[in-house]
Structure 1
Amino acid sequence: MNQEQWLDEWDTASLYQKEVEGCDNCDESSPISQDGVVCGPLLRLKGVDYDNDIYRGSLLLVVKGTNPPAVKFAAGHSTSNEIDIEIRQLNSTLIHEEKDFSFFRYDFDLSLRDFEQMIKYSVGDVTKPHYRFYIPSKDMNFNTISYSCNGFSLSVDTTKFKGSMWFDILKKHSNVHYHVMLGGGDQIYSDSVKLYCHKFKKWLETKDPIAKFKAKLTSEMKEDLNAFYLKEYIEWYGYGYWKGATPQSKTTQRCFPLATATVPSINIYDDHDIIDGFGSYSNSFQSNDVFSGVGKAAYKYYMLFQHHVSLTEKKAYSEDPSWILGAKKGPYIGEKSHSVLTRLGPTWALLGLDCRTERQLRQIVDWKTYDIIFDRLAKEVEKGKLDHLMVMLGVPIAYPRLVWLEWLFSSRLLAPLKYLSKKGVFARGLVNEFNGDVEVLDDLNDHWCARHHKKERNYLVAKLQDFGAKYGIRITILSGDVHLAAVGRFRSKLHSHHITSSHEHEVQKFLDEPEKDTRLMFNVISSAVVNTPPPNAMAALLQKRSGIHHFDSETDEDVVPLFHEDVDGHSRKNFSFMNRRNWSDLLPIANVLAQDYLQQEFQLSVGERYFPGIITSSKSEKATKKENSSDQQDVSYPATAKGMLATIHVEQNTLNADSESVAYSVVIPELSVVKDKLSHKGIKHLNL
């Protein structure tokens, strides 16, 4: 690769329009039958070492055959006066072999420089326009994407979706230069294992409950499960192809594999990466040898494709410095949880919490694992000041309670209906084919606010608040799962019944100066990037349940009124929940101010206050527009030099192949004060 080849411009509009022409017209051709590379390149960010200014990553290729393709990197930077590039060939490591396929990982360490670098690469003799990625300068925090629910549910009519949110991501990437994308769970929808893994399907259809419960995972069934997940991953990550339960349930999302080749990923996983609801059924059912075997098979390929490591690799699987390993092996998958902790810039960090490997009906993460995690976080702070910690959780933690639905669906009053449903006499589809519970009960049991998890949920929120306050770190939680967009919020409580008290004055000051509110945490909920959104009735139900709740005597929680205006400009009644497909990005305000494209798009000014909403240059929700608002949930936030701009990009029209979106933003200030210990008096379900 010469200097001219490295310098060529990326004409994204024409490139991707050509690549994705008819991107959602399903093409059933699969790369699994071809020779050579059948999946990849897939880029992964392993971690960043700011003690030595080293960026650590890997590139994965799945090859039909045994010969590793040559991979060459050209790292460089251009100015008006000169081009500075360095070319080198990466070494390959064979990490897994199965059937005719070889998994080759190419590890790389790159030196951070005083400027942003563009890394272009070739695979074999092939160089494609999207074979490039960006790493920030050593004093620059990362431009970050967050997404979830990257696939369709089994019976969705995919013909109703002509656009692609991945197309929207890639178009914006050419201007913004995203440095990492965070997969918040359900990066692949593997629920069709119950349809196309025939030996597992036969077990599910077993009528005798005793025989079903006592069934063992045979070697043939294990091989069948492995073959399913291998094929599913190669087709989805290699080509974007997926099929569900009906002739209308299939898609080819060609932009997704392009994105994985041009923006490095960090992922956690959730139930659909395994099978719907895994971890949230009864212990007696989950302990079944066959069903736990599904979890073991899915976990194997999750680690291979999403983390580029084999379970047999001691160093990569157990000793990488970015892992936080759980205290003990999970009960069903039989492996230790693998949470991720890495810097995303000199003053930003990410904790990706593994909430699935240890999950049981009454537990999400083991209590001893929490101790390990918070000890590790404290050690991370010792390495240097953090302004912002992003905590990635698969399921929202600041979200309306639906306990009454849990009670209803688990009530004995439904037993006759459940029996008739299982027999196919009445309400076919009311119960699942696993353990006969109501179909949506596992989704409710998954939630942090479910009755089984309230104690653990409140413990984690309080621990995060205490950690942030002690070290002066603003914490933002990233979640998905629920197929709509929202922003949950914890903040200091406004004691309106003590109007004249000094404490009231102090809390009001926190609301006026949120950069000093040690209890302020946002939960950015971005879901789904591919899957279909819920109906308007669900958004309306959530809106009614989204009033102010009292977390403890000093902390309120609510949902930010972000969506007063719809994508077409009309006002919305369900202003806290947007049931359209979406994805989000999290940008350092310093980067927004420094880059011409972002500065023109948002026109932020340090010190200016902004209400959550549309704050792009075309329609700005500046504080001056709502100075007289009496709604306590309408709170403006100042753009600060070390702050963050969190934006949810919402699809305008599912039938539009241009895939345009509308940006809804929240300005998140850094935390400018420290407080050694917060009071959690009055916290529910837990004594701290």
Structure 2
Amino acid sequence: MSNWYDKVDTRELYADKVVGCDECGESPLNIKGDGVVCGPILRLISVDYEKNLYRGSMLVVTKGEVPQPKVDIQLGPSMESSGSVSELNLKSGQLNATLIHSEMSYKFYRYAIEIELASVEQMCKYSVDGNTEAHYRFFIPSNTTNFNTISVSCNGFSLSVDTTKFKGSMWYDILRKHADVHYHVMLGGGDQIYSDSIKLYCNRFQDWLKTKDPIKKYSTKCSPELREELDKFYLKEYLEWFGYGYWKGSTEKSNTSQRCFPIAMSTIPSVNVFDDHDIIDGYGSYSHKFMSTDVFKNVGKSAYKYYMLFQHHTSVDEVEAYHKESCWVLGAQKGDYIEEKSHSVYTRLGPSMAVLGIDCRTERKLTQICSKETYDILFKKLADEVKHGKIDHLLLMLGVPIAYPRLVWLEYIFSSKFLFLFKWLSKKGIIAKGLVNEFNGDVELLDDLNDHWCAHYHKKERNYLLARLQDFAAQNKIRVTILSGDVHLASVGRFRSKVHTHHITSAKEDHDKKVLNEPENDVRLMVNVISSAVVNTPPPDQMAMLLQKRNKNHHFDRETDEDAVPIFMTDVNGENRSSNAFMNRRNWSDIIPVTNIINNKYLKNEYKVEIGEKLVPGTVGIKQEIDDSTDVSQVAYPVTENGIIATIHVEKDTSSPKSETVGYQIAIPELQTQISELSHAGIKHLDLK
């Protein structure tokens, strides 16, 4: 009890875990004997402030004929100021376990976590079969405090990336900051695992991909042997990655050992949605004919099974946990290819903060991301939740950015019929061998473009969703902040009320002043924090420059503009940066309530902010000035008592095991104005009358 408040020196404790992160030896599964082979992995399920109840789960996977592991917990205040050691009244107990899945020699155990919220932040320490680690602990905020939240995506390398260039680990940086910040939840925005190597290590699937005869390829049934091979692949891939941070790509220089990643999962509970790489690159965005092949459908079904097991601690065969758990927002109908209902996730993240993670993959097809009926269910869920207490901030998880420069011109080029000859020659290996994919012969990058909300097929759906979000936010006085990843760089997209720049009348001038000077009253203000990738390689400088040039002020409707925030005015070395809205370095982000920053000694020293002041988006701890009064893209946002601050932590030096980052912040005020009806006159691609 005397060392209950022991602080974990993560800098010292985990520095050696980063050394050699650019290589991997033999699979740990081949070395590891019987016993625990994966986990513990923590998951947040729900927080009920009417019942004062925090619910989560822990996943432990064992190998061999070993007894069910015993998990003991101790619960008490997290800070010494919450009570002296002599007065400590620690609660002890044992978590109840359910065997949710058995396969080959592996058993999956889910442990139920139910903790009563207290008036102070609590720390829960645990042991597995009597074994304790410094990171076997997690934090539960008080019943009056909103969560300190992490947002990550693209947690893995693409198949042929030269990983020898990356000597550091963003997960090490996360663990370092966690010791001082106490992150309460980690939002996984998709691509928590990169499973593209199924093309290399699943022999029967590889043979199918190489089938030249299109009739044979499209008519082939997925044999029981092939399905078993698919299952074995995903099971092994998850056990290696989630258990040890072990991954092997397609070349001798494509390997990594992200040892800090499993540690983070055992100390910060997760809420996840999935994206294509959790299945295979581009899944859902190929032609309907190819997606409907029996083999490719079974790839999706197999990946989905293990996604639910490892990322949601749920078996698809369970009735209660899979169909009726309170966190789920189930889709209206089953997806065409995975043939399951989409499982979006919702929970409160504090008395006045919530998260909705939309499942944008299960129903996805080339012409659709989610059905209108599913959107109706999602917005009904939000409307019902508002009745359970005021929400100031809704965090909306969308794997792919929704406020991002248009690349439709590339989409048209890559899908042009004039490329037919080049695609045929590439498929034959005569020219540009990597030009087309091995799935359906489309240009390699086309699936990435088709994934985007601004893609030709998705524009209408995008604008429909955004209009409904604006209406919901304005009618309920809620600030919506969108969290995305996917694109391997950092940015902050922005929707806001229109700022007039031509033929300005006095009335329009007053309107513009209000938009620029009172963003807390702008019902159309909604930012898209884009944080990617926590592991994968960033694109070259030329891509950031291209996006910067494409960063034009778009008119969503006659009253709403969209652009990207110039948050990266300086690079990580302090030098001026021309691509000031896009940062092509590895990164991760967090969203922290202003009051938590003010009340945390470490954070207050880092951010140096006070309630009432205004912050120009930029480097954490450095007061920025608006250097051009005519540049309406530069806006100072108020630091409000009920506001949040979103920070993107950008890697300084890929060659350094120190894994240091520079933070770039934007203050996001709560919405202080309520409007019953918004105009969407002039909205493109759909009629909302």
Pairwise TM-score range, normalised by the shorter structure: over 0.9
Code of the aligned partner of 2:383:
A
2:57 maps to which residue? 58
SS of 2:618's partner is: coil
1:672 maps to which residue? 672
1:424-439 alignment runs, 5 A limit: 424-439=429-444
| Conservation of the 8 A alpha-carbon contact between 2:47 and 2:54 | yes
2:132 maps to which residue? 127
1:214 maps to which residue? 219
Aligned equivalents of 2:164, 2:538: Cα separation in 1: 15
| Conservation of the 8 A alpha-carbon contact between 1:6 and 1:120 | no
1:167 equivalent to 2:172? Answer yes
Code of the aligned partner of 2:145:
M
1:273-312 alignment runs, 5 A limit: 273-312=278-317
| Conservation of the 8 A alpha-carbon contact between 1:496 and 1:504 | no
- How far 1:380 moved relative to its partner? 0.3
| Conservation of the 8 A alpha-carbon contact between 1:28 and 1:241 | no
1:534 equivalent to 2:539? Answer yes
1:75 maps to which residue? 75
Deviation per residue, 1:467-525 (Å, 9 max, x gap): 00000000000000000000000000012335224244124212210000000000000
Sequence identity percentage: 61
1:620 maps to which residue? 623
Aligned equivalents of 1:592, 1:682: Cα separation in 2: 41
| Conservation of the 8 A alpha-carbon contact between 2:154 and 2:190 | yes
2:384 maps to which residue? 379
2:348 maps to which residue? 343
1:435-474 alignment runs, 5 A limit: 435-474=440-479
1:637 maps to which residue? 637
Aligned equivalents of 1:448, 1:4: Cα separation in 2: 54
1:255 equivalent to 2:260? Answer yes
1:415 equivalent to 2:445? Answer no
After alignment, is 437-446 or 206-215 more displaced? 206-215
Structure 2: runs of 5 or more not aligned: none
SS of 1:380's partner is: helix
SS of 2:43's partner is: strand
| Conservation of the 8 A alpha-carbon contact between 1:26 and 1:251 | yes
Aligned equivalents of 2:229, 2:4: Cα separation in 1: 45
- How far 1:15 moved relative to its partner? 1.0
Code of the aligned partner of 2:550:
R
Aligned equivalents of 2:627, 2:653: Cα separation in 1: 33
1:663 maps to which residue? 663
1:38 maps to which residue? 37
Aligned equivalents of 2:428, 2:23: Cα separation in 1: 37
- How far 1:12 moved relative to its partner? 1.7
SS of 1:110's partner is: strand
Aligned equivalents of 1:510, 1:436: Cα separation in 2: 48
Aligned equivalents of 2:178, 2:26: Cα separation in 1: 28
SS of 1:626's partner is: coil
1:178-577 alignment runs, 5 A limit: 178-577=183-582
After alignment, is 20-29 or 433-442 more displaced? 20-29
- How far 1:129 moved relative to its partner? 0.3
Aligned equivalents of 1:572, 1:503: Cα separation in 2: 33
Aligned equivalents of 1:278, 1:25: Cα separation in 2: 28
1:8 equivalent to 2:6? Answer yes
Q: 1:323 to 1:211 in 2, by over 3 A?
A: same
TM-score (norm 1): 0.98
- How far 1:31 moved relative to its partner? 3.4
- How far 1:85 moved relative to its partner? 1.1
Query: Residue 95 of structure 2 is aligned with which of 77, 81, 90?
Result: 90
SS of 1:481's partner is: coil
Deviation per residue, 1:111-141 (Å, 9 max, x gap): 1000000110000120000001101000000
| Conservation of the 8 A alpha-carbon contact between 1:511 and 1:517 | no
| Conservation of the 8 A alpha-carbon contact between 2:18 and 2:167 | no
Aligned equivalents of 1:256, 1:238: Cα separation in 2: 9
Aligned equivalents of 2:237, 2:432: Cα separation in 1: 31
- How far 1:80 moved relative to its partner? 4.8
Code of the aligned partner of 1:30:
P
Aligned equivalents of 1:169, 1:27: Cα separation in 2: 25
Code of the aligned partner of 1:40:
G
SS of 2:124's partner is: strand
- How far 1:7 moved relative to its partner? 3.3
Code of the aligned partner of 1:23:
C
| Conservation of the 8 A alpha-carbon contact between 2:7 and 2:179 | no
SS of 2:296's partner is: helix
TM-score (norm 2): 0.98
- How far 1:627 moved relative to its partner? 6.4
| Conservation of the 8 A alpha-carbon contact between 1:42 and 1:260 | yes
1:128-167 alignment runs, 5 A limit: 128-167=133-172
Deviation per residue, 1:23-42 (Å, 9 max, x gap): 33424341364210000000
Code of the aligned partner of 2:400:
V
Code of the aligned partner of 1:675:
I
Deviation per residue, 1:530-562 (Å, 9 max, x gap): 000001111111000001000000000000001
